[in-house]
Structure 1
Amino acid sequence: MNRILKRTFLPSLLAASLAGVTLVPAKPAAADDRILEDVGIGAAAGVVSGAIRGRGSVLNNAVKGGAAGAAVNGVNGTRRNPRNRNLGQDIGVGAAAGGVTGAVTRGRKDTLGDVVDGAAAGAAIHILRNRK
């Protein structure tokens, strides 16, 4: 009898517990509520920076800037006071994210340009967020 109960109830119990764990909504750990705005600002800044430099495609520059925006948002979400933003840190995080994203998407063709695009995105996010 014990073996029959294990074969009957254990699979359904396992499936119910997995469904309960995966369907429970969770709040993001280190991002604030305006992540899409930061990704959009970063993408726009990346496109503008790439156009000024005359390098890279519009889509690739938007991806680098969007990744930099998400990274800046994530770092600023870890602060105790999210309004206490640091321009140097936002530029540094954006530059690092732009460099890494450029290395992944383009294979280190123009690393300095990727870093510049990410830094521009971080600076734009900092300026626009502190203005509000």
Structure 2
Amino acid sequence: MNNILKRTLLPSLMAASLAGVTLVPAKPAAADDQVLRDAGIGAVTNVVTGAIRGNGRVLNNAVKGGVTGAAVNGANGLRNNRRNRSVVQDVGVGAGASAVTGVITGDSKDTLGNAVDGAAVGAAIHLLTK
């Protein structure tokens, strides 16, 4: 009797556990795509604004822009309705996140410039993901 139960229940249990493992992470993957999209938009935008302003460290600008884009995405994730995004919120969060990230990465001599770059990132994300 014990062998019969093992032969019938174990394969079903294994199939159910494998299905649960593969289907559960399917929902958060869409959220990760949005964060990666906004981080990418932020990185590209901050590299461009850094080049326009003459701030020549491309990698540093890309890091600040990526973090800023993720922060803007996170701020919009806190809202109940993601479709009614606020341009003021996106620009403000972008400016603040870029200024703080600039201080952390050692680019604290140009805090206002970092805030301007972050505001541009927030505006770009708002326009491109509307």
Amino acid at match of 1:117: D
Identity across matched positions, percent: 67
Where does residue 111 of structure 1 map in the other structure?
111
Does 2:87 match 1:87? yes
TM-score with structure 2 setting the length:
0.74
Where does residue 5 of structure 1 map in the other structure?
none
Change (3 A) 1:107 1:53: closer
Where does residue 124 of structure 1 map in the other structure?
124
Where do 1:64-83 residues align within 5 Å? 64-83=64-83
Shift of 1:105: 0.6
Unaligned runs of 5+ in 2: 1-24
Change (3 A) 1:96 1:66: same
Q: Choose between structure 1 and 2: higher helix proportion.
A: 2
Equivalent pair of 1:32/1:74 in contact (CA under 8 Å): no
Shift of 1:78: 1.1
Q: Deviations over 1:33-80 (max 9, x none)?
A: 510000000000000000110114001111111111000000101111
Q: Please give the root-mean-square deviation of Cα atoms over the aligned residues, in Å.
A: 1.9
Where does residue 13 of structure 1 map in the other structure?
none
What stretches of structure 1 move > 6 A for 4+ residues in a row? none
Unaligned runs of 5+ in 1: 1-24
Where do 1:1-132 residues align within 5 Å? 33-130=33-130
